[in-house]
């Protein structure tokens, strides 16, 4: 509560109050009439009608500005650690607001890298260095943003995507399509041709730069915000090797008693 109350930005959810009566502890946020982004993005019946490309691009820009504030412009330097589609809420005007700071960490002073012995987060959004070594930084959030960005473009979930022909996970498939000059094939089918090809290709490029395996190869959020406005980075992203790949023939691992209140957030990751 103390953390969230000190963060004020139009792309962060605003806390209205709290309750600590007896054993019941509640946080009261501003009401978001359009719910979370995932309920619209991954709904084939309504997603196309509600989330046209203009709104999707606006959401991408808003989330980027919210992260920029957390990393560089707020009075506290905050690493979110659980940025994902379900943690993006939409107000009455479809403006995005980053929510759920339960896993957020304050980084002191000029510290740029921290370590934890307990890895918490969501499979598919955690960066390689964090998932496998517990090291987190601004670049960990950048990785999560890259996954989120590519999901917004494609309308597909990273963790449930599987290309049976090429046996590729979501990020590897995205890179192959982009590398072969077929980046526009990644666009959500419900958008038809009602999108800007130049904006889409710019966003795919940025998303792939954000999900590079090596944290040093990822841009910072100031770089990302700048690139969303104008093409300023011509670096060619390498193929992401660290990826969550779902096989239709492989059974999914079962986890017991490791889930938080958000059913998609876990504290254990199983390597391939």
pLDDT digits (tens, 9 = 90+) for 148-160: 999 999 999 988 7
Quick one: pLDDT at residue 253? 38
Whole-number Å distance between alpha carbons of 215 and 234: 18
Quick one: pLDDT at residue 121? 82
- pLDDT greater at residue 178 or residue 243: 178
Mean pLDDT of 52-65: 96
Mean pLDDT of 24-35: 89
At 114, is the pLDDT very low, low, confident or very high (cuts 50, 70, 90)? low
Active site residue 23: no
Mean pLDDT of the chain: 83
Q: 242: which residues sit within 8 A by CB, 6+ positions away? A: 127, 128, 131, 213
**Least confident among 182-196, 217-231, 247-261:** 247-261
Mean pLDDT of 43-72: 89
| Residues recorded for the chain | 272
Architecture of domain 2-229: Orthogonal Bundle (1.10)
Q: Which of 22, 23, 82, 91 is catalytic?
A: 82
C-alpha angle 18-21-26 in degrees, rounded to nearest 5: 35
Whole-number Å distance between alpha carbons of 119 and 44: 33
Q: Is the pLDDT of residue 59 over 90?
A: yes
- pLDDT greater at residue 17 or residue 66: 66
Residue 10: both structure tokens together: 């139009």
Quick one: pLDDT at residue 115? 67
Quick one: pLDDT at residue 163? 58
Q: 201: which residues sit within 8 A by CB, 6+ positions away? A: 183, 184
Residue 103: both structure tokens together: 């896993």
């Amino acid at each position: 509560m103390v953390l969230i109350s000190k963060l004020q930005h139009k792309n962060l959810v605003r806390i209205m109050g709290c309750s600590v009566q007896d054993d019941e502890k509640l946080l009261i946020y501003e009401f978001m009439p359009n719910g979370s982004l995932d309920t619209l993005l991954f709904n084939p019946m309504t997603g196309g009608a509600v989330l046209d490309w203009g709104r999707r691009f606006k959401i991408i820009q808003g989330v980027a500005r919210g992260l920029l504030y957390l990393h560089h412009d707020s009075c506290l330097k905050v690493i979110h650690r659980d940025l994902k589609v379900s943690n993006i809420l939409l107000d009455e005007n479809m403006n995005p607001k980053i929510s759920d700071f339960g896993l957020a960490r304050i980084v002191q002073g000029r510290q740029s890298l921290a370590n934890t012995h307990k890895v918490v987060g969501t499979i598919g959004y955690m960066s390689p260095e964090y998932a496998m070594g517990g090291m987190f930084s601004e670049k960990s959030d950048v990785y999560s943003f890259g996954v989120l960005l590519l999901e917004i473009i494609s309308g597909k979930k990273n963790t449930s995507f599987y290309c049976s022909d090429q046996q590729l996970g979501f990020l590897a498939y995205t890179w192959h399509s982009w590398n072969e000059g077929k980046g526009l094939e990644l666009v959500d089918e419900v958008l038809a041709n009602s999108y800007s090809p130049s904006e889409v290709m710019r966003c795919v490029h940025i998303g792939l730069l954000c999900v590079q395996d090596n944290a040093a190869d990822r841009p910072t959020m100031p770089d990302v915000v700048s690139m969303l406005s104008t093409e300023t980075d011509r670096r060619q992203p390498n193929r992401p090797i660290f990826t969550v790949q779902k096989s239709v023939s492989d059974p999914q691992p079962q986890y017991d008693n490791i889930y938080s209140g958000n059913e998609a957030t876990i504290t254990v990751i199983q390597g391939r």
